[in-house]
Amino acid sequence: MKRKAQGAIEYLFMIAAALVIVLIVWRQISGRGSKASEIADTAENQISSELQQEIGG
C-alpha cells in the first residue's frame, strides 16, 4: 500500500513541476509579445509622423 501512495505522490509532484514550467514559459512568451507590440507601435508612430512631415513640408 505504501508503494502505491508513494507512486501517486511522485506522479502529483511531476504534474506540479510540469505546470510550473508551463507557467514560466507562458509568462516569458507573453512578456516578449507585449514588448514586441510596444516596439511596433513606436515604429508606426515614428513612420506616421515622418510621412506627415514629408507631405506637409
d(Cα 51, Cα 47) in Å, to the nearest integer? 6
Can you list the alpha helix ranges (DSSP code H) found in 1-57? 2-56
Q: Which pLDDT value is given to residue 57?
A: 62
Q: How many CA atoms are closer than 13 Å to the CA of 50, on its beta-carbon side?
A: 6
pTM above 0.85, yes or no: no
**9-49 pLDDT per residue, tens:** 999 999 999 999 999 999 998 888 777 788 888 888 898 88
